[in-house]
Each structure stands twice: as C-alpha cells, then as structure tokens.
Amino acid sequence: MRKLIPMLMLLVVAACSKDEAVVGAKAPVPMRSQGLQDSAGVAVNESAPAAPRMIVRTASVKIIVDDTSKVVEVITRSVEAAGGYVSDSNIWRDGELLRAKITLRVPADQLTSTLGAIRAVAKRVDNETITSDEVTQEYVDLESQVRNLEATEVELRELLKVARVNSKRATEVLEVHQQVTIVRGQIEQAKGRMRYLSQLAAMASIALDVVPDAMAQPVVEPGWQPLVVIKDASRALVSLLQRLTTAAIWFVIYLLPILGMLAVAIFVVTKIARRARTREA
C-alpha cells in the first residue's frame, strides 16, 4: 500500500498535464491527401473530419414606429412563430410617448428573416448592428478536456477499488476518493460550459429598441379626462384651504392667548421699572 500514494500523485500530474496540453492546443488542421488510391486505382482525398462551426450571433436594432404597443405585439407573434421567445421586455411611458426595449431570442437560422420582419413593421430603422463570435475552438478544446478527464476518472476509480481492498488506513481511501470527486467536478464544469456554448450558438439574440415617432402622435392623448383633472385640482384647493383654516384656528385658540399673556407681563414689568426710576430721581 506504500506504492498507492506515489501512483496516485503520478496519475493526477499526468491528468493535469493532459488538460494543459489540450487547452493550449490549436484546432486540428485537416491534412491533405497523400496520394492514396482505392481498389480501382483512383486517387482518394482523405482529410480529418472538420468540427461544425459554432457561431454566436447578436443583433442590435433601433426602429422608429407609429404605434409602439401594436408593433411590439406584432414582433412578438412573429418571433414566437419562428420558434423563438421574448427573454426580456421593458415598456414604459416617456412623457407623452410610449417606449419599449425588448430582448428576443430566435433560432440562429431564423435571424435574417426575423430582422426582415422587424424592418417591415418599422417606419424607419435608425440603427442596426450584427456581430458574430466564433466559439468552435473553445468547444473542441472542451471536448478533448472532457475525454481526458473521463479517462483519468476511470483510472482513479480502479485505483479506489484497489485501495478499498488492500489499504488498512481510511485516510488513503479518502485521498483517492477526494481526487475522484475533484475530477468529476471538472468534468461537470466543462460539460456545463459546452451546453452553454451550444445554447448560445443555437439561439441568436436581438436587442430591440422601439422609439415612437413624435410627429405621428395625436395632439390629445387618448384617455385624457378633463373632469378628472378638475376634480384633482378641486381636491388640491380644498386641501390647501383646510390647512390654512387649521393654522388660523391654532393661532387664535392656542398662540393668541399666550402672546396676550406675554404682552401683559411685559407691560407690568415695564410699569414697575418706570416707577422705581421715578422714586430714585
């Protein structure tokens, strides 16, 4: 069992070396044919299968519309029909105008048609930007890393079986088990990143800013009620009068008697002081 710990250390170091080599490696370059021929004597071009390209596409669009709520509804239906969804939506009133900012997620192959549908419902397009970020290399590196880690995990589990049978110390078994847990965590982390990249590449993102055309807005906003405004102004006036009346009542009932008593006291003190001065003179 004394050889167990050194074997474990060599195994872990080898696994780490494999992982570092995979991360720093470049994508495999397809090799050209070396003049191979089939049974009929015809040259055959053999090359390594290329990994499918994974591209994350993101678009940002700002459009001017006549009716914000109607346009948002039409775009939402169009996106859902294309197999996408609205991941974020913010609609608010900016003064007299209704604005909206929404984030759309659509299948990557439907991005062009979705952008066309957005342009169709807009009065004009102020800004449109499309960016592409290729993550193929990262995905291939993660695949290689997972393969190496899984091979390391198999060897560690075999070593764990030997340790459980031959080791008389529980600490040695726990050390091997801890290494198995660490490798399994690295595998799950790499696979999670791969799933995340796959989802990003499968669904394109559109950040849409919907701005209403101020010239197309009506002079009187629908829903304006003059009677409600009159009632609100009347309530404010009554509230002000109530506060003034309350202040007057407090002044007459509370402050005025106090001021009167202070005036009488000052008058009496002044009178006494004058008499005292007269006697001294």
pTM value?
0.53
pLDDT band at 81 (very low <50, low <70, confident <90, very high): very high
Cα 78–chain centre separation: 23
Q: What are the extents of the domains in the chain?
A: 1-26+51-224, 225-281
Looking at per-residue pLDDT, the higher value among 113 and 279 belongs to 113
Looking at per-residue pLDDT, the higher value among 222 and 227 belongs to 227
| Per-residue pLDDT reduced to its tens digit, 104-122 | 999 999 999 999 999 999 9
Cβ–Cβ < 8 Å for 108, 202: yes
| Per-residue pLDDT reduced to its tens digit, 130-163 | 999 999 899 999 999 999 999 999 998 998 888 8
Cβ–Cβ < 8 Å for 33, 43: yes
Pick from 63, 67, 155: which is nearest to 102 by CA? 63
pLDDT band at 219 (very low <50, low <70, confident <90, very high): low
Distance (Å) of CA 21 to CA 15, 51, 134, 153, 200: 10, 19, 21, 18, 26
Q: Give the largest Cα separation in the chain, rounded.
A: 150
Q: Specify the pLDDT at position 37.
A: 42
Bridge partners (DSSP) of residue 101 are 90, 209
